[in-house]
């Protein structure tokens, strides 16, 4: 499969085109140092065979925040070097840290905005990014990534809502791009022009007055021109529409733009990859071959392969899907898709991040701080246990499924066959009941359930239940549309 072919990313070669984008783990302390939990988390991705690991955002400065890694002083280099070394010792996965600057924010809801920065502050930020990337190189990372997405300083300069009146804003695209340009220039000087530095930025801000893909294409071109090793696309995640809970520091993923940033189960799969395709085409047409990475509810192997094989984008970023199962790459490559622990986009991980709690996946065994080890080598390929006695009850507007507990089951995957016969994975649960609230009366639905052990080994499918949902009384016997001539 194309996604398992290596790819040149600047001077780095990633062994395959699957990326785990930066995800905050909240495993670090407030001291900013790498600890064993952090190492375990990222080594686990390396074990799973992902091509590129982007380590969660680490700050270029010392500003107060919750649990967060730092790269703001040479004292952090040994810990970071240990992290990089441990990953390199594990597999061929390449690893880069995501590097961030953020502005001040208070529990009152007050937040510093880019127009409050003096020009000296901007010069300091330029230097801080250069120093941070030099430290990333010293620590043995394969490259670095600048966080210019969501609610943070670089993104706020790029934003169409940038309120500065000087040449770092001034209501012009060129002004909004000046800071990232100066930073990349300084990074070349301080870390060398052969060290691959990618940029993550928003393809669409998804806020009132925010920029759309129209600007994102031009931004992508400029990033290619200033030597970005890759473009990693995200969307939304802004403070402008964040919901402020009194007494809490605003969290930029609580508003609509936060919904878009980490789209939940009510969003279609592969929600935002079309932006990547549009941006890549625009940048390519102007002579740049900078690889483009797309993210956003990509987790079905067929979707990932299609995106890469068609050339729409070069890299697929899988965040929550790899949190649920770091072995996704190895399992797909080995033809063991049925063993994947599939993310159901319940977004408990997002909630844990927002409340500064250690980020885990609810599909992991109870109490685990890390994904369980892949036991392919030792476990029987087929686990014996199966959910049985699946039965459906029609409720008012929904279908309730219940089944018997399978001995030793850690979770159950629910599969639905729709009215056209398309089977899809619709949810994963730890209990033995599930309600389908998204069905239409007058149609037939079929379901089966599979039990999975904590190791990922799956049992046989349960019996299948078929439900003919009664049509609501107001439905015409034969609709006008069906009787109309073509």
Residue closer to its own copies, measured from CB, 173 or 388? 173
- As beta bridge partners, residue 144 has 197
Q: Does 275 qualify as catalytic in the annotation?
A: no
Smallest separation (angstroms) from its own copies to the CB of 10: 6
Residue closer to its own copies, measured from CB, 73 or 468? 468
CA distance 409 to 432: 10
Catalytic annotation, pick one of 45, 152, 211, 253:
152
What does the buried/exposed string (b/e) look like for 90-104 if buried means 16 or more CB atoms within 10 Å of the residue's CB?
bbebbbbbbbbbbbe
Rounded to whole angstroms, what are the CA distances from 386 to 182, 455, 456, 458? 59, 15, 13, 8
Smallest separation (angstroms) from its own copies to the CB of 241: 7
Residue closer to its own copies, measured from CB, 360 or 439? 439
Residue closer to its own copies, measured from CB, 366 or 479? 479
Residue closer to its own copies, measured from CB, 78 or 397? 397
Element (H, E) at 197: strand 197-202
CA distance 196 to 183: 14
Secondary structure of the chain: what % helix, strand, coil (to 5)?
Answer: 30, 20, 50
What token pair was written down for 60? 């270029």
Strands (E), 10-85: 12-14, 18-20, 52-59, 69-70
Length of the chain: 486
Distance of CA 79 to the CA centre of its chain: 25
CA distance 298 to 196: 25
Looking at the annotation, which residues are catalytic?
152
């Amino acid at each position: 499969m194309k996604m398992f072919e290596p790819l040149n990313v600047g001077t780095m070669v990633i062994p395959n085109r699957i990326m785990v984008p930066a995800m905050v783990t909240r495993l670090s302390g407030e001291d900013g140092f790498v600890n064993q939990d952090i190492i375990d988390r990222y080594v686990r991705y390396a074990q799973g065979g992902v091509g590129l690991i982007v380590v969660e955002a680490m700050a270029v400065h010392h500003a107060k925040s919750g649990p967060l890694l730092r790269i703001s002083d040479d004292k952090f280099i040994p810990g970071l070097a240990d992290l990089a070394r441990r990953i390199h010792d594990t597999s061929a996965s390449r690893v880069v840290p995501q590097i961030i600057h953020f502005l001040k924010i208070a529990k009152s809801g007050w937040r510093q905005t880019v127009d409050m920065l003096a020009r000296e502050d901007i010069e300091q930020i330029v230097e801080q990014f250069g120093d941070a990337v030099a430290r990333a190189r010293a620590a043995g990372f394969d490259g670095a990534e600048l966080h210019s997405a969501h609610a943070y300083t670089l993104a706020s300069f790029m934003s169409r809502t940038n309120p500065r009146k000087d040449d770092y804003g001034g209501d012009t695209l060129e002004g909004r791009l000046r800071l990232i340009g100066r930073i990349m220039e300084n990074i070349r000087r301080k870390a060398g022009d052969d060290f691959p530095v990618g940029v993550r930025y928003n393809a669409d801000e998804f806020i009132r007055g925010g920029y759309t893909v129209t600007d994102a294409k031009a931004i992508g071109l400029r990033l290619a021109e200033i030597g970005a090793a890759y473009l990693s696309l995200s969307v939304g995640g802004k403070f402008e529409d964040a919901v402020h809970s009194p007494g809490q520091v605003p969290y930029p993923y609580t508003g609509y733009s936060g919904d878009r940033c980490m789209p939940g189960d009510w969003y279609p799969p592969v929600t935002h990859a079309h932006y990547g395709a549009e941006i890549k085409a625009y940048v390519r047409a102007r002579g740049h071959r900078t690889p483009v990475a797309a993210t956003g509810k990509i987790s079905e192997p067929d979707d990932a392969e299609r995106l890469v094989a068609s050339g729409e984008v070069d890299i697929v970023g899988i965040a929550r899907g790899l949190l649920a199962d770091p072995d996704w790459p190895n399992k797909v490559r080995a033809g063991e898709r049925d063993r994947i622990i599939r993310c159901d986009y319940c977004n408990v991980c997002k909630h844990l991040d927002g409340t500064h709690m250690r980020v885990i996946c609810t599909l992991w065994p109870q109490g685990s701080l890390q994904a369980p080890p892949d036991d392919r080598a030792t476990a029987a390929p087929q686990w014996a246990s199966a959910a049985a006695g699946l039965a459906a009850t029609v409720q008012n507007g929904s279908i309730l499924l219940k089944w018997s507990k399978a001995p030793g089951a850690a979770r159950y995957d629910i599969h639905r066959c729709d009215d056209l016969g398309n089977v899809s994975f619709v949810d994963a649960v730890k209990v033995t009941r599930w309600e389908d609230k998204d069905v239409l009366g007058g149609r037939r639905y079929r379901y089966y359930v599979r039990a999975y052990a904590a190791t990922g080994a799956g049992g046989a499918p349960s019996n299948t239940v078929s439900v003919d949902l009664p049509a609501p009384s107001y439905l015409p016997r034969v609709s006008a549309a069906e009787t109309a001539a073509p």
